[in-house]
Structure formats: C-alpha cells, structure tokens
C-alpha cells in the first residue's frame, strides 16, 4: 500500500486537517495516565508546523455515544499536547459550527488547533452499511462530514488505531475532499511498513505468537498466516478450545464450543501445509479466577473444578526455544491472565523472549492491545522493533483485510 505521506506534499500556507488517535487513558481526575498516543503523532504535527502549515487536529476519546459528556472532553489532551510542542494549542469546544469556523479562519502558519471529540456527534459513528440502507442517516453523516471537510486544504490520516472503522472523520471526510491532497502521516507509514513487510515479505524463519481469550477473535488471522509463517505459537485461553478439539479434558477453563470443529480443521490444515502449530504442554491451573488463587501446574487433562489461567513452566521453555533463530516475530495476545499474579509469568517470559529474539537480529512486531501493554509495563519497548498503536486494526491487517479509509488516499 504505497501511499503519499505528508513529506510528499507542500503544506506551506495551508490548513491541514489531520485525523489522530488521541484516545488516551484518563484517571478519575481527568488526568492523562499515558500520553503515548499523543507522542506518537508529534513527528507529523511538528513537520506541518515547521514547514509553514497550520494544523487542525480531530480525534475521538472514549465512547460518549453521540452525547456531550465532560469526562470525554479532549481539553486535557490540548493542554498536554501544548506542553509537548512547546506552544499554545488552541482548543475548540466543538468540531463543527460557526465558532469552529471562526477559529479555523483565524489560524496562522505554525498554529495548532484541536477540535473537540468527534464522537460527541452521533453522525461520526453511523455505519456506512446503515447509511446506505437509510437515506436520512446518509444525509446526516454526509452533512456532518461536509462541515469538517470544509475546514482543511489538505487531509492527513495518522490514526492507525481506528483505520479499520468507517467513521465519518476517517472515511467520509476524506471522500469529500477529492481533488485536494489526501495523505498519510508518519505513524501510519511506519505501521504499514512493519506490518506490511512482515506479512508480504518476511525474513524467515517467521514465528507468530497468538494469545488471548477467544479463538474466534484470531480465527481469520490464523487462516491468513498459515501460508506465510513457519510456526504459530498458541497461548492464552484460546488454547483450551484446541485442547478440547484434541479430546482433552479442560475442567472449567474458558472454551468456545462453537469453534471446536474449526479448531480441528486448523490442526489438520497447519499440518498439511507444513506450518508448525505449537500448543502449551502444561498449564498453571487454579481453583478460582482471582489473584493469588490456589494453583498448581498440570501437564495433562485439567481436573473438574479447575481452570487454566496461564501457560506452565515447560510451555515457557518450549515457546522460548521455538522463538530462537526466528528472523521475523509477530505477537498479538497474552499467554494468560497477565493482569493477575501469579498468572502473569507466561506473558512476561514471552515478552522477554521476543526482546531477546530482537537483540539477536529479528524484526519483532507487537500487535497492540494487551501485548503492547505488557511490553510497555515491562519496559521492553526499546528492545522490540515496532509496537503497533492499534490492537483491533493490527488484527484486521493481519487477517488480510483492506482498510477503505486508507485506500481512498493518494497513491505515490
């Protein structure tokens, strides 16, 4: 997907409308607990400002569901962004309307304006499918998008975290800016490079590590990866669906019974196509789902009344061994309930193994979400090649899905 970037166009004297992902975590006092998403957008913002453009930023925050709610205001983000840029960030209390238009008109080269949460308007999240079925919804979405589109001379998409959604600010707005420059920012360029290269031109051996609770969440990813990777390492609760498919007893472990037949198919398909599917050989099981619950290691069937909450020590050894020598590693999903001790050991061990593989020369990509949280929590971000900013988006990318909000942007 060779798209034009902000570096390919002249922004001098232009008002640049830029979609970012400032969906940052806030505490009860509305203080930002992690500014990583703001920091990730800085290179693109700074480039525009340094080259004589003014920038109009738009983002969502949380799920206000079309209502104006103070706890979802982007005002704290404007303050933090100003501190990071070392200049005032003008804040608009809405994203459309007369007052917003006045602020945009008054922008001078080098100015930065942040619009209020686009999800305060229900039109932002009207699905294209529903809009196609209901003309009144289509008109609402189009009018909302038109008012935003008229603010900018240039459109920049640097919000990978929402690249898989057909929100108005992600797709309808750039669709209405046909004839103007429509490009990607440096953050999305980096995401497309790492994820695209891994899937389409990987250095071999290529190992994928998939975890998390549900096989249904990763089913399409597994099917797309079978012909691309040398081995798929499975951890987390999704492993228990595979175990049940093999006829093993799993106690009261989480299992998606509707996907047992599909798990059987995947076991056969991976074998037929020469892709090694690596499952845990032991588990840390507990009598109840809570931190520091009574637990033990079980290498065989899981007894009734017990549930698997992490991979066991022998599985850790196996997984670490299977990652040695890998030249490309993709990881998405924890190995256990990593938020609770002592069921965080498997995820921590895999995180360290991925970092070690990177030190040994592998390209490593962490697919956002819980895996990204684990890497950051352990202070290993600097020891992996790329941490994706989009959990759901990176998953859909690995499924081989096309992102129409990127496809309509200008090609190189």
Q: Active-site positions?
A: 37, 214, 369, 392
For the chain, give the number of residues. Answer: 412
Using CA atoms, how far residue 397 sits from 195, 224, 387, 411, in Å, is 8, 10, 14, 19
Q: Rounded to whole angstroms, how far apart are CA atoms 92 and 100?
A: 6
Reduced to 3 states (helix: H, G, I; strand: E, B; else coil), residue 99 is helix
CB under 8 Å to 142, separation ≥6 — which residues?
Answer: 172, 176
Quick check: 411 and 385 in contact, CB under 8 A?
Answer: no
Which residues, including other chains, have CB under 8 Å from residue 62's CB and lie 6 or more apart?
Answer: 23, 71, 72, 117, 119
d(CA 14, CA 181): 11
Helix axes 345-359, 313-323, angle to 10 degrees: 20
Q: What distance in Å separates the CA atoms of residue 31 and residue 25, rounded to the nearest whole number?
A: 8
Helix ranges (DSSP H) in 96-255: 98-105, 128-133, 135-149, 173-175, 186-200, 215-225, 238-245
Q: Please say whether the beta carbons of 306 and 285 come within 8 A.
A: yes
CA–CA dist 356, 275 (Å, integer): 23
What are residue 283's DSSP bridge partners? 298, 311
- With a CB cutoff of 8 Å and minimum separation 6, the contacts of 321 are none
- C-alpha span between 125 and 95 (Å, rounded): 14
* Structure-block tokens of residue 50: 């340094």
Helix (H) or strand (E) holding 141: helix 135-149
**What is the Cα 150 distance to its own chain's centre?**
29
- Which of 339, 336, 340, 398 has the alpha carbon at shortest distance from 373? 339
Buried b (16+ CB within 10 A) or exposed e, 36-66: ebbebbeebbbbbbebebbbbbbbbbbebee
Beta partners for residue 307, in sequence order: 286
């Amino acid at each position: 997907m060779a798209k034009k970037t902000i570096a390919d166009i002249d922004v001098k004297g232009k008002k640049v409308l830029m979609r970012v992902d400032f969906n940052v975590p806030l505490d009860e006092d509305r203080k930002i607990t992690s500014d990583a998403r703001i920091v990730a957008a800085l290179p693109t913002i700074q480039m525009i400002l340094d080259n004589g453009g003014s920038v109009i930023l738009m983002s969502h925050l949380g799920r206000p569901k079309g209502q104006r709610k103070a706890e979802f205001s982007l005002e704290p983000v404007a303050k933090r962004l100003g501190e990071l840029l070392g200049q005032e960030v003008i804040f608009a209390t809405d994203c459309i309307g007369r007052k917003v238009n006045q602020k945009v008109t008054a922008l001078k080269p080098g100015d930065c304006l942040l619009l209020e949460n686009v999800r305060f308007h229900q039109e932002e999240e009207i699905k294209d499918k529903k809009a196609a079925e209901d003309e009144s919804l289509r008109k609402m979405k189009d009018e909302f998008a038109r008012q935003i589109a008229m603010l900018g001379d240039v459109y920049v998409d640097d919000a990978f975290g929402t690249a898989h959604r057909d929100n108005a600010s992600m797709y309808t707005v750039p669709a209405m800016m046909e004839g103007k420059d429509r490009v990607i920012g440096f953050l999305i360029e980096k995401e497309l490079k790492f994820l695209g290269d891994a899937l389409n031109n990987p250095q071999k051996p290529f190992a994928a590590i998939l975890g998390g609770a549900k096989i249904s969440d990763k089913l399409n990813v597994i099917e797309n990866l079978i012909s691309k990777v040398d081995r798929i390492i499975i951890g987390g609760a999704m492993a228990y669906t595979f175990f049940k498919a093999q006829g093993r007893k799993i106690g009261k472990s989480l299992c998606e019974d509707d996907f047992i037949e599909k798990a059987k198919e995947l076991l056969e398909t991976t074998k037929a196509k020469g892709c090694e599917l690596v499952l845990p050989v032991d588990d840390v099981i507990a009598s109840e789902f809570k931190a520091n619950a009574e637990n033990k290691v079980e290498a065989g069937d899981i007894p009734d009344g017990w549930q698997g909450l992490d991979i066991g020590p022998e599985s850790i050894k196996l997984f670490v061994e299977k990652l040695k020598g890998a030249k490309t590693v993709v990881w998405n999903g924890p190995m256990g309930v990593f938020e609770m001790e002592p069921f965080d050991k498997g995820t921590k061990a895999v995180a360290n193994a991925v970092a070690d593989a990177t030190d040994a020369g592998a390209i490593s990509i962490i697919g956002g979400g819980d895996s990204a949280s684990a890497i950051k929590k352990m202070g290993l971000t600097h020891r992996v090649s790329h941490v994706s900013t989009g959990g759901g988006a990176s998953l859909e990318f690995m499924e081989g899905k096309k992102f129409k909000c990127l496809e309509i942007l200008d090609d190189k």
